[in-house]
Structure 1
Amino acid sequence: MATIRDVARLAGVSVATVSRVINKMESVNPETAGQVLKAIEQLQYEPNAVARGLAGKRMGIIALILPDILNPFFPALARGVEDVAHKKGLTVILGNSDDVGLKESSYIKALKKKYVDGFIFASNTIREEDVEGLRKERIPIVLLDRGLDTASCAVIRSNNRQGAKLAVRHLIEQGCRSIAHIYGPQDFITARERLLGYEEAAGGLKGYSPSLMIPGNFDIESGRKAVEQLLARHSNLDGIFAGNDLMAVGALKALHERGIRVPEQVKVCGFDGIGLAEITEPELTTIAQPVYEMGGLAARILIEEIESGIRDNHLIELDVTLVPRKSTVKGGS
Structure 2
Amino acid sequence: MTTIKDVAKKAGVSVATVSRFLNDSGYVSAEAAKAVTAAVEELKYELNPIARSLNTKKSNLIGLILPDITNPFFPELARAVEDVALTYGYTVVLCNSDENPEKEKNYIETLKKKYIAGFIVTSNQLDAPHYANANVPIVALDRAINEKIPTVSSNNKEGAIMGTNALLDRGCQNILFLRGPAELNPANDRWEGFMEAIQQSNAKYLVVTCPFHFTDSQKIVEQVLKENPQIDGIFASSDVSAAGALKAASLVGRHVPNELQIIGFDGVAMGEMLSPGLTTVAQDVYKMGAIATRVLIKRIENEMVEQNFYEVPVKLIIRGTTRSVGE
When normalised by structure 1's length, the TM-score is 0.78
Q: Secondary structure at the match of 1:103?
A: helix
The residue type equivalent to 1:58 in the other structure is K
- 2:257 aligns to what? 263
Q: Secondary structure at the match of 1:278?
A: helix
1:27-106 residue pairs with structure 2 within 5 A?
57-106=57-106
Q: Distance in 2 between matches of 1:302 and 1:86?
A: 13
Q: Distance in 1 between matches of 2:213 and 2:144?
A: 19
1:142 to 139, 142, 151: 139
- 1:281 aligns to what? 275
Q: Secondary structure at the match of 1:322?
A: strand
Residue 305 of structure 1, CA deviation: 0.7
Residue 172 of structure 1, CA deviation: 0.9
Q: Secondary structure at the match of 1:316?
A: strand
Q: Is the 8 A contact 1:151 1:313 kept in 2?
A: no
Q: Distance in 1 between matches of 2:174 and 2:201?
A: 8
Q: Distance in 2 between matches of 1:101 and 1:147?
A: 15
Residue 274 of structure 1, CA deviation: 1.1
Q: Secondary structure at the match of 2:229?
A: coil
Residue 281 of structure 1, CA deviation: 1.4
Q: Distance in 2 between matches of 1:245 and 1:122?
A: 18
Q: Distance in 2 between matches of 1:153 and 1:99?
A: 19
Q: Is the 8 A contact 2:261 2:322 kept in 1?
A: yes
- 1:130 aligns to what? 130
Q: Structure 2, unaligned stretches of length 5 or more?
A: 1-51
Report the aligned-residue RMSD.
2.2
**Aligned: 1:163 with 2:159:** yes
Q: Secondary structure at the match of 2:95?
A: strand
Q: Distance in 2 between matches of 1:205 and 1:164?
A: 15
**Aligned: 1:291 with 2:285:** yes
Residue 147 of structure 1, CA deviation: 4.0
The residue type equivalent to 1:304 in the other structure is K
Residues 280-324 of structure 1, C-alpha deviations (whole Å, 9 max, x = no match): 111110011111111111000000011126567712211011000
- 2:228 aligns to what? 234
Q: Distance in 2 between matches of 1:180 and 1:244?
A: 14
When normalised by structure 2's length, the TM-score is 0.79
Q: Is the 8 A contact 2:222 2:251 kept in 1?
A: no
Residue 126 of structure 1, CA deviation: 6.0
Q: Is the 8 A contact 1:154 1:312 kept in 2?
A: no
- Larger CA deviation: 171-180 vs 229-238: 229-238
Ranges of 4+ aligned residues in structure 1 off by more than 6 Å: 51-54
Q: Distance in 2 between matches of 1:312 and 1:121?
A: 20
Q: Distance in 1 between matches of 2:303 and 2:318?
A: 43
